[in-house]
Amino acid sequence: SDLQKQEERGELLQPLIFVLLVLCSILLYFKVSLMDPGFVKPEEEVKEGEDKGQGVVIPQIPGDIKLRRCGYCLVKQPMRAKHCQLCQHCVRRYDHHCPWLENCVGERNHPLFIVYLSVQLVVLLWGGHVAWSGLYFEQSREWLQHNIFLLVSFLLILIFTIVVLLLLVSHLYLISCNTTTWEFMSHHRISYLRHSELENPFDQGIILNLWRFFC
């Protein structure tokens, strides 16, 4: 492969960068999976935080919609929060529960989740290129026996690349609209969206949506 040839020639910069990207991807995985995604604490502990977190002006939402108390953990849910039965907590700006991370993606770890997907996509694309560069095709049984592992690896990398790319693109689209996966999928069941005059009362334009999310 290309990296192997560079290593043999003593050119270690690209192999080192590839290894560092893989390590960065692993560290991001554990960071996103182990951190608090934005669990809602008892209201007396987060009263000040709620006021700060809900500082975005949303005049289109009817005033008769009040914050409700969760029927599972009995905390008062802020706007856009949802109870996750797998984590057994209410999560601020709940997006979804990721089975690969075994954690929710919410207000606190959603930006890091996007960074993780981006780094993972770079690693997969680079890994796919490395696997492809090591393949040379011949129509013989001996060739298949010697290259079956590399061929299967390339096909798996290709599948995961497509999955991660679609996931990243879909999340970036939702972020640019200032909506979450849960709100997008369950729009008709969410009171503050169902009774709103606008389809998405949180949308403040692509630039401002991206700025508020990442900055």
Query: What confidence tens digit (pLDDT) does each residue in 163-174 have?
Result: 999 999 999 999
Please confirm, yes or no, whether 98 is among the known catalytic residues: yes
Question: Would you state the pLDDT for residue 59?
Answer: 44
- CA dist 52 and 48 (Å) reads 6
Question: Would you state the pLDDT for residue 141?
Answer: 67
Question: Would you state the pLDDT for residue 77?
Answer: 85
Which of 84, 98, 104, 215 is flagged as catalytic? 98
Question: Would you state the pLDDT for residue 24?
Answer: 96
Question: Would you state the pLDDT for residue 215?
Answer: 86
Question: Would you state the pLDDT for residue 117?
Answer: 97
- CA dist 81 and 107 (Å) reads 9
Question: Would you state the pLDDT for residue 86?
Answer: 92
The region that residue 38 occupies, defined by phi over 0 for left and psi between -120 and 50 for alpha, beta otherwise, is left
- CA dist 206 and 73 (Å) reads 35
- CA dist 2 and 51 (Å) reads 54
pLDDT beneath 70: ranges in the chain: 1-8, 10-11, 43-67, 136-141, 143-144
The pTM of the full predicted model, rounded to 2 decimals, is: 0.82
Question: Would you state the pLDDT for residue 15?
Answer: 81
Question: Would you state the pLDDT for residue 53?
Answer: 43
- How deeply is 127 buried, as exposed, middle or buried, from its count of CB atoms within 10 A (0-12, 13-18, 19+)? buried
Tokens 């959603």 found at: 110
Domain ranges of the chain: 2-37+97-214
Question: Would you state the pLDDT for residue 44?
Answer: 45
